[in-house]
Structure 1
Amino acid sequence: METRVRTLVVEDDRATRMLLEDWVRTRPELELCPWSAADGEEGMRLIRDWQPQLVLLDLIMPQCSGISLLRELERDPPPVRPRILVLSKVGSELIVDQVLSMGVDFYLRKPVNLSELGNLVDLLICRIPQQEPVLRGQAWEILAEMGAQSEWKGSLCAALAAECLAGHIGERLMKELYYAAIRESGGTYQSVDKNIRDLVHQLHQKGAASYQRIVKSDTRPSNRAFLRAVAREIERRTGLKSSES
């Protein structure tokens, strides 16, 4: 049997903490730590005691906040740093960027959609298999044909996101697609979104024949529409069947 991922909940609201604990118990690949934490100080102690691989972390808590916990992790990291998923009502982009720069793997707004949380945890603990090697490079080839340069930040982000989407059109959320780019580029959700948007703008202005054939739009497409078009082209070239109906 595969090793289960030890998971710690750090949340001051009792009802939310119990909801997350119950949700963790329903996931066969997760193992709930014997204790949960109601503030950042207790959370830091439990991280050192139980060495979880995954932490579900609230930000706004009395006495010691989630941000204080993240600062302590930066100052004195444990031997193995856990994956950290922030669940918070705070929606400020400045706060989101701040915590992502402190090593948080992803940021979800409350109220938490448990289905979305499950999809994201699948990505955080790498349960979704890597694409076959034939897909790696297909996105780069397609983007190059459209006129993208390999040194453009958006090229890496779009290639990773399109490869993640290929074969799963209709299933995966934008956050899931961006996570692959965040993980490999070292950026934030906002920076990945902007880099892909800038790439689409540049390619739309160039208007290469390959771009027009694949995107099929007279107006500049959204990031999602662009990635779907590239993913469909990957599927066409590799014979990969999409989940899209």
Structure 2
Amino acid sequence: MSSSYTKKLEDLLRAHASEADAAAMAAYMRGHFPFLGIRNPQRVALTKQFWKEHGMPKGAEGVKAAEELWALPEREFHYTALLLLIQLRKEAEKERIALLEHLVVTNAWWDSVDTIADHLIGFHMQKYPELIPAHVEKWLASGHMWLQRTAILFQLKYKRHTDVPLLFSCIRRMADSDEFFIRKAIGWALREYSKTDAGAVQAFVAETKLSPLSVREALKVIQRKSGDE
């Protein structure tokens, strides 16, 4: 596997571009990125068929292919890079965290950051929990909105394995942020954990000064269940 592999995949995706869809998709992302105009189900199907025919690069070659895809301008290549890294996440060594941090802060917008935080960094931190204290502290102190959002969201799928004191500490530290994406992340993280321990989330929301957006998002599941009773 080499960069010729990435070029073949790039050529395949470019062959399925749609100008009309590209314009609509770029507009949805507020013009932050150019698009080929390939909808997600088609892009995933094309990529998986490509892997079936050409094989999936592993180890260093897989990381190289992901980095090459990430360097291309159109957003679909970024999504494909993340899809590849998700396939390779079980084999990742501890040092992969440096690449994942790089991906959070480059080509950064909510769609990529949330995938990285949830499916890549979240998985990686469960595999290497010793990384959590120093990296979460670094992200919160960085002043970088997307790293801070990652610190709040990486435990989204942890459920009963959530480090609740850490989650609540992250939220308290970011609670006065004026950033929409931070306030939304706070609500999302609390909403997800409310599915595991509604009482803990209710108590935390009651005793913590949070933005109305964060509170509204945090209590959605709890209020819906209460309305159904």
Query: TM-score with structure 2 length normalisation?
Result: 0.30
Larger strand share, 1 or 2? 1
Q: Report 1 or 2 for greater relative contact order, CA contacts < 8 Å, sequence distance ≥ 6.
A: 1
Larger helix share, 1 or 2? 2
